[in-house]
Amino acid sequence: MSVYQGKGVYGAVAVGRASIFSRQAADVRRVNIEDTEKELQRVEAAKAIAVGQLEAIHDKALKEVGETNAEIFEIHIMMLDDEDYNDSIKSIIETQKVNAEYAVAVTSDNFAEMFASMDDAYMQARSADVKDISNRLIACMTSGGEADELNDEKMIVCADDLAPSETVSLDKDKVLAFVTAFGSSNSHTAILARNMNIPAVIGAGKEFLQSIHNGDMLIVDGHTGEIIVSPDEDTIKKYTEKQAADIKKKQLLQELKGKENITLDGTKINIFANIGGVGGIGSVLANDAGGIGLFRSEFLYLESEDYPTEEQQFNAYRKILESMAGKKVIIRTLDIGADKQIGYFDLDKEDNPALGLRAIRICLTRPEIFRTQLRALFRASAFGSLGIMFPMITSVSEVEKCLALCDEVKNELVSDGIRIGENTEIGIMIETPAAAVISDKLAPLVDFFSVGTNDLTQYTLACDRQNAKLESFVDTHHEAVLRLIEMSAKNAHANNAWIGICGELAADLTLTETFLKMGIDELSVSPPYVLPLREKVRSTDLRKV
């Protein structure tokens, strides 16, 4: 029995046999050919099959994981049609007189390397995509596109990494869990795993993959990120019990749907959900969240090839507001920079990106981008109960500039005869120590605060949130962070503003009582945490010391 440690990205336990994910492209051989025309035709025929498959996967993804997550497959279809990509395949076949599979594999390696060496994270991510579409093309040439079938037993899929199309193509009825040796918790794969409700652990390490064989018995604990290879009987029993307890708990939590978020002594709190795309609405509703406390609008930009237009943004915001049918929807304006880089923004490389040009600083220095987003937001405000929230605020003057632009945009829309909502709330994120310390000056300007504890912790403790080596230095319950939250709550309430928390700490059940005592009005968490948090609130009694 051996134990490996990765990062759990979806909390559930699986016990079953390993199925090592293999790709057909690994078997590609170079074959000299005479008839280059025939090879070119084979590429075209394979492309037609691949596009058909991708359209089917896109439709499946649309139903299962939503529009935003499904968009990646539209990108794959476009990539298959890319002129440079196709020219490269053609030129290798014609000049080297080689088989089509080999030309695709070489093109794939060249393009993947080129993307990987680019500076911006978005283009780097295309490296996995080009490999993915090339593998598909090769599979279509060698087997007419038949995918490897898993056998009838449900298996735990183990891979070096999984491309988005590979993840979504996995037949959920045959997959117990998946484990990848590499990958980050912000990858498409991790995001898809959470949305697909499949227990998943990523970043288990190269050694894990080297140590396992098809059919090995595994335990995957998506809560702790532990993977146990060849567990003994006692361990299997222990985890089977944990699994059963998980299932029972989830069933019991369903009974909390429709119930109030109220403590035993009668204190009420709103529990909202955080999402990154329109596709997340399904799980917000399924988990009975009272609203959306954080819509990370930058995902609309991250998943787009170019600046999303006012119309595209309006449609997305309108859809969220309409789907939430009058429940509060807080949309955070663009928060890029630092770890979220987008190629077409052409941002300079910075020595300290977390302390650099990010979020509201970008919006205020590029008002044309900000104006487009605000126009889309105010237009959408007519279709529900909207809150607009500005990220990374550090000063009164930043808020004043945001408010002035909001007024300008609203006046512009009204004078053009465009209907806007009457009760749109304006808020700011409290995610810098500066904002918390001057929260008495900021509160009179806004309707609400939302505490971004991920960044507030990073900046208060001077610990880069991207740096895994600092984990032992990050005390998530640090008194300094809690005092800043408490100070912000007092200042919000003294100025008739309400205050929520939308960072990860909102889901920390060991702090629920502390937050309730501070008078926090709203906690916004990932959708699967809504019901556990409701349960915690309902079992809390603030009269007990």
Residues of this chain that interact with Mg ion (CB under 5 A) are 431, 452, 455
Measured from the CB atom, the residue of 71 and 298 that comes closer to Mg ion is: 298
DSSP-based three-state secondary structure for 228: strand
Write each residue from 52 to 81 as x if it is in contact with ligand PEP (CB under 6 A), else as -, in one continuous string: ------------------------------
Write each residue from 451 to 480 as x if it is in contact with ligand PEP (CB under 6 A), else as -, in one continuous string: -xxxx-------------------------
Helix pair angle (121-143, 100-116), 10° resolution: 170
Interaction of residue 503 with ligand PEP, rule CB under 6 A: yes
Taking CB within 5 to 8 Å according to partner kind, which of Mg ion, ligand PEP, none is near residue 300?
none
**Among 68, 184, 88, 74, CA closest to 129:** 74
Residue carrying structure tokens 């987003």: 373
Strands 226-229 and 217-221, by their bridges, are antiparallel
Taking CB within 5 to 8 Å according to partner kind, which of ligand PEP, Mg ion, none is near residue 387?
none
Taking CB within 5 to 8 Å according to partner kind, which of ligand PEP, Mg ion, none is near residue 453?
ligand PEP
Residues 423-442 touching ligand PEP, rule: CB under 6 A, are 431
Strands 270-275 and 292-296, by their bridges, are parallel
Contacts of 382 (CB under 8 A, 6+ apart): 419, 420, 421
Interaction of residue 389 with ligand PEP, rule CB under 6 A: no
Interaction of residue 522 with ligand PEP, rule CB under 6 A: no
Taking CB within 5 to 8 Å according to partner kind, which of ligand PEP, Mg ion, none is near residue 226?
none
- Select the residue interacting with ligand PEP from 137, 212, 502, 516 (CB under 6 A): 502
Least distance CB 231 / ligand PEP (angstroms):
35
Q: Which stretch binds ligand PEP (CB under 6 A): 285-293, 449-457, 491-499, 515-523?
A: 449-457
**Among 99, 123, 121, CA closest to 111:** 123
493 catalytic? Reply is no
Q: What is the helix (H) or strand (E) element at residue 498, kind and residue range?
A: strand 498-501
How far apart CA 497 and CA 506 sit, in angstroms, is 19
Is the distance from CB of 136 to CB of 165 less than 8 angstroms? yes
Region for 228 from its dihedrals, namely left if φ exceeds 0, alpha if ψ lies in -120 to 50, beta otherwise: beta
Measured from the CB atom, the residue of 231 and 452 that comes closer to ligand PEP is: 452
Burial grade of 422 (CB within 10 A; 0-12, 13-18, 19 or more): exposed
Q: Which stretch binds ligand PEP (CB under 6 A): 13-21, 90-98, 104-112, 448-456?
A: 448-456
For residue 465, what is the DSSP state? T
- Strand (E) positions, 231-313? 270-275, 292-296
Least distance CB 150 / ligand PEP (angstroms):
35
Q: Which stretch binds ligand PEP (CB under 6 A): 178-186, 407-415, 447-455, 529-537?
A: 447-455
Least distance CB 108 / ligand PEP (angstroms):
33
Measured from the CB atom, the residue of 222 and 503 that comes closer to ligand PEP is: 503
Taking CB within 5 to 8 Å according to partner kind, which of Mg ion, ligand PEP, none is near residue 502?
ligand PEP
Measured from the CB atom, the residue of 228 and 481 that comes closer to Mg ion is: 481
Interaction of residue 358 with ligand PEP, rule CB under 6 A: no
Length of the chain: 545
CA quadruple 500, 373, 526, 329: dihedral sign? positive
Least distance CB 453 / ligand PEP (angstroms):
5
188 catalytic? Reply is yes
Write each residue from 328 to 357 as x if it is in contact with ligand PEP (CB under 6 A), else as -, in one continuous string: -------x----------------------
**Among 192, 142, 145, CA closest to 31:** 142
Catalytic residue, chosen from 76, 140, 188, 463, is 188
Give Cα 225 to chain centroid, integer Å.
18
For residue 280, what is the DSSP state? G
Interaction of residue 167 with ligand PEP, rule CB under 6 A: no
How far apart CA 234 and CA 242 sit, in angstroms, is 12
Least distance CB 137 / Mg ion (angstroms):
39
Measured from the CB atom, the residue of 455 and 521 that comes closer to ligand PEP is: 455
Cα-trace Rg, the chain: 25
How far apart CA 543 and CA 109 sit, in angstroms, is 64
Q: Which stretch binds ligand PEP (CB under 6 A): 157-165, 172-180, 408-416, 446-454?
A: 446-454
Interaction of residue 194 with ligand PEP, rule CB under 6 A: no
**Among 17, 3, 337, 263, CA closest to 154:** 17
HSE value, Cβ hemisphere, 13 Å, CA-based, for 389: 31
For ligand PEP, the binding residues (CB under 6 A) are 294, 296, 335, 431, 452-455, 502-503
Residues with catalytic function: 188, 502
